[in-house]
Structure 1
Amino acid sequence: MLNAAESAMDQAAEDDAERARNRAKLYAPPKGYRAPGGQKPRMPGAMTAAQAQALTRQLAAQDAQVTGRRSG
């Protein structure tokens, strides 16, 4: 449904700047929305830096198992 709204707004826009403004309005969080703990809203499914580092370590360990190398 958002895709259809975005497409209609893009067709009605006169230039790229207006398209960008329309897209920002369409995807902006609702007025008064505050993320828990006063944090900046994140994209759904986005990782924190700590989660990304843990995933990197996990992938390195798995790679070491597959290739027979030591991780570290």
Structure 2
Amino acid sequence: MLAAAEAAMDLAASDDAERERNRARLYAPPVGGGGAVRGRGGRPAARGMAMADVQTLMAQLAAEDSQHARGRNPSR
């Protein structure tokens, strides 16, 4: 997709300098938005649920799955 975008931008450019500016903008890293927060070792910092929350959610899912497998629907 980048090649197609680059080709379209090259066709619209009026000179070589504008083509270079367009190419630099196209391949530049994203600006703003905070980016990925880095943790130790330069890896992205962990995000998401705590392990205890995951285990609670999995237990609820297993209980609901068991009820559905037995033919009972707890939402009725």
Using the size of structure 1 for normalisation, the TM-score is 0.45
- Work out which of the two has the higher radius of gyration on C-alpha atoms and give 1 or 2: 2
Q: TM-score, normalised by structure 2?
A: 0.42
